[in-house]
A and B are shown apart, each in its own frame.
Chain A
Amino acid sequence: ETGVTQSPTHLIKTRGQQVTLRCSSQSGHNTVSWYQQALGQGPQFIFQYYREEENGRGNFPPRFSGLQFPNYSSELNVNALELDDSALYLCASSLVPGFQETQYFGPGTRLLVL
């Protein structure tokens, strides 16, 4: 196992609600990235946090926001949920940001928006 944990494992919400997903990075890793994986697609990059600062962002609207805490755990918040937000949300941790740094994925949170 990678040592990256995520909670909750499954979640059901309705349109318009807000959701918070949590991720604990592997020990010693100060970089966390979040990805969205829709059914039948590859993961899509949402954003990355390094030492509590956003270090890059993909093509997602502002209602997707995040935080990283001093212990390097992280949260993904999604406001005003839409049906298309139904997906597997993955977080990945790495030692530092960088091209050759391996990103280790957690088991994901499955979100269903009704």
Chain B
Amino acid sequence: RKEVEQDPGPFNVPEGATVAFNCTYSNSASQSFFWYRQDCRKEPKLLMSVYSSGNEDGRFTAQLNRASQYISLLIRDSKLSDSATYLCVVNMNSNSGYALNFGKGTSLLVTP
């Protein structure tokens, strides 16, 4: 079983729609959680960190449920520029040091 699993996607939504991505992680010792965004043929870029209390950054809201080992990302009022792959990322200290464990990513296409 992969350590971080995401919705398979792709998600095709019209501009202005609300879309939600879900992610589960297997290791309860995981310490920190992130969403990264990756545009086609580019490097991943940090979108936001995810905290137990939930956090919001403009149109983006991230939630963490440690008991269920579940992370979510909600995008409201989708823009064409939101089209990208969204990577759920978990960081835990292990024999791998402070390695980021990435999900496979979920592709989002926002259409006019």
Contact = CB atoms under 8 A, between A and B. Distances in A.
Interface of A: 2, 33, 35, 40-45, 47-48, 50, 55-58, 90, 92, 97-108
B99 A42 contact: no
A47 B49 CA distance: 22
Given A42-B105, A99-B93, A48 B44 contact: no
B68 interface: no
A104 B43 CA distance: 9
B87 interface: yes
Contact of A44 (B31, B32, B94, B102): B102
A69 B42 CA distance: 26
Interface residues of B, number: 25
B44 A43 contact: yes
A105 B44 contact: yes
B80 interface: no
A62 B111 CA distance: 45
B24 to A, nearest CB: 14
A2 B36 CA distance: 14
A42 B103 contact: yes
Contacts of A47: 97
A46 to B, nearest CB: 9
B95 A107 contact: no
A42 B87 contact: yes
B96 A42 contact: no
Contacts of B32: 99-100
